[in-house]
Amino acid sequence: MRQPESVAGLFQGAAIQGLLIQVEKHRRVLDVAKRALPGFLADHCVDCVVKPDRLILYVDSPAWASQIRFYALHLLSKVQQSTGYRFNDLLIRNALPAAARPLDKPVLALPSGFAAEVLKNSALSTSSGELKEALLRLSATVQALRNADPGKENQ
């Protein structure tokens, strides 16, 4: 039976070394590109690919991609000055298609405690039995949700 190669041995191969060199080159270019952008935009740059005549910059959303496009000439100039690479073109792409992005947990906007009180007072001043009961249930539900929400405001 053949002995498995050690993990350390795998990282000594020429193919792996070539890949590590490419990854390091991309990291350096990405760092320079981020420094060429304002901080609020640089935070959204997640990766880049260096092609012979083109730099492809990956960002985390289409909104930030459209903002970064305004800095394309400045960014290319800074990258060329710092790295020596001569790019003819800068493409800005989304790192993940919209369908593949994880969805944020929806934020539940709860009515205030004041709203729960208004519902309760409205119910108590209503003579209609069915409407009165519905308003009391709604008031109780709003109050219960507010009591269960650890991030609620004290209102």
Q: Pick from 134, 123, 55: which is nearest to 93 by CA? A: 55
Position 24 scores a pLDDT of 92
| Average pLDDT for runs of 10 along the chain of length 155 | 72 76 91 92 92 92 90 92 90 76 65 82 86 88 77 50
Residue 154: its pLDDT value, please? 46
What pLDDT score does 152 carry? 52
What separation in angstroms does the CA of 117 have from each of 4, 33, 122, 135, 140? 70, 55, 8, 11, 9
pLDDT score of 61: 87
Whole-model pTM: value is: 0.55
